[in-house]
Amino acid sequence: MPVIDRAVTIRPGEEVDPLEVRTFLQENIEDCGGDIAITQFPSGYSNLTYLIEMGGRQMVLRRPPVGAKVKAGHDMEREYNVLKALYPVFPYCPKPLAFTSDPSIIGTPFFVMEKLSGIILRKDLPEDFSFSTEQAANLCRTLVDLQADIHAIDVKSAGLDFIGKPAGYVQRQVEGWSGRYRKAKTDDAPDCESLMAWLKEKMPADTDHPTIVHNDYKFDNVVLDPGKPEKIIGVLDWEMTTYGDPLMDLGNSLAYWVEENDPESMLMIRTMPTNMPGALTRQEILDHYEKRTGRSTRQFDFYYCFGLFRLAVIAQQIYYRYFHKITMNKRFAALIYAVIALEKTALKVIEASDL
């Protein structure tokens, strides 16, 4: 059987007080009692995620990373409220259980949600597990179909109006992420000025059909059924969810989609098995999404380049914390190479683009 995500010993400096957490859970979640054990899921670069085992029950605690300064990207109350509104209309997301803004418990706001148990694909498939080419293609199509389903949710009737304003969304994204990059740039990072100028020049008008934008939709944020791995049973990490152009969401997703024949610099930063035999190419994903939704992807060079740039900014913001010794997590040291590779890839797309 494939490996299911396992929690491990909590990293130094990221500990939480189990007794304080237990008291909070007993006071805020019905029928929650017993001894408590807390471990940490080791993957991911953003919000910290812990496994809580208490009285035979498994839950997940999410909190901001140590040293993070980007409040909007780590707003625990907002993410909790998104899940509360979304769960009744999209039960693929985890059920939210409790939230607190009280920093006296673990030093920061946090929330607790149900644990979705299943397979999460990381960089490579486990040695004892594989997809046939047909299964891989089916899984990719299912991934696209579910993203299309997210884009079909009625934001207003679900009570999700608070997640964002679609008017001016693309412009705010381009300007906002450009500002974040300039603020987080270190001496060893590319300046990205020509890339930012192109994005500003080529950004499209507002879409007339805004949707939920998950903003981090990818293989390692979906949970697969252990008994039928082609089936997706959950979608995780709604922390950056907003309301805007669905093609921005798709562009962000495909920025992670590294193919077998991509340049070596991109293959080296691949984080998911998007290059496995049978996996759809980026163009095949676009074709399937367009057929599924009826939306034109003619201007997709812009959306893909923005996705690459945004991913570079995220990597640079995390690297900035390591560069300035705000965090000592050695995993972050190599992120500068991802920033460089993503900028080079975006510039090549621009060079070949007819926009």
Question: Would the pLDDT of 134 be above 80?
Answer: yes
Residue ranges covered by each domain of the chain: 18-114, 133-352
Give pTM, 2 decimals.
0.91
Supply the pLDDT for residue 126: 81
**CATH for the 18-114 domain, from 3.30.70.2080, 2.60.40.1840, 3.30.200.20, 3.30.420.10:** 3.30.200.20
Supply the pLDDT for residue 355: 94
Cα(first)–Cα(last) distance of the chain, in Å? 47
72 compared with 270, residue with greater pLDDT:
270
CATH 3.90.1200.10 fits 133-352, yes or no: yes
| Whether the Cβ atoms of residue 72 and residue 52 lie closer than 8 Å to each other | no
Question: Would the pLDDT of 74 be above 70?
Answer: no
The stretch 220-240 carries a mean pLDDT of: 94
pLDDT in tens, 272-310: 999 999 999 999 999 999 999 999 999 999 999 999 999
18-114 and 133-352 share one fold: no
Supply the pLDDT for residue 1: 42
Supply the pLDDT for residue 213: 98
Return d(Cα 215, Cα 219) in angstroms, integer.
13
32-46, 205-219, 290-304: lowest mean pLDDT where? 32-46
- Three-state SS string across the chain, please? CCCCCCCECCCCCCCCCHHHHHHHHHHHCCCCCCCEEEEECCCCCCCEEEEEEECCEEEEEEECCCCCCCHHHHCHHHHHHHHHHHCCCCCCCCCEEEEECCCCCCCCCEEEEECCCCECCCCCCCCCCCCCHHHHHHHHHHHHHHHHHHHCCCCCCCCCHHHCCCCCHHHHHHHHHHHHHHHHCCCCCCCCHHHHHHHHHHCCCCCCCCEEECCCCCHHHEEEECCEEEEEEEECCCCCCEEECHHHHHHHHHHCCCCCCCCHHHHCCCCCCCCCCCCCCHHHHHHHHHHHHCCCCCCHHHHHHHHHHHHHHHHHHHHHHHHCCCCCCHHHHHHHHHHHHHHHHHHHHHHHCCC
The stretch 320-327 carries a mean pLDDT of: 91
Confidence of residue 128 (pLDDT cuts 50, 70, 90): confident
Supply the pLDDT for residue 351: 98
6 compared with 183, residue with greater pLDDT:
183
The stretch 36-65 carries a mean pLDDT of: 90
Supply the pLDDT for residue 258: 98
* Residues of the chain above pLDDT 70, percent: 96
Supply the pLDDT for residue 65: 83
Supply the pLDDT for residue 9: 92
How many other β-carbons are positioned within 10 Å of the β-carbon of residue 314?
26
Amino acid 238 reads W
Average pLDDT across the chain, whole number: 93
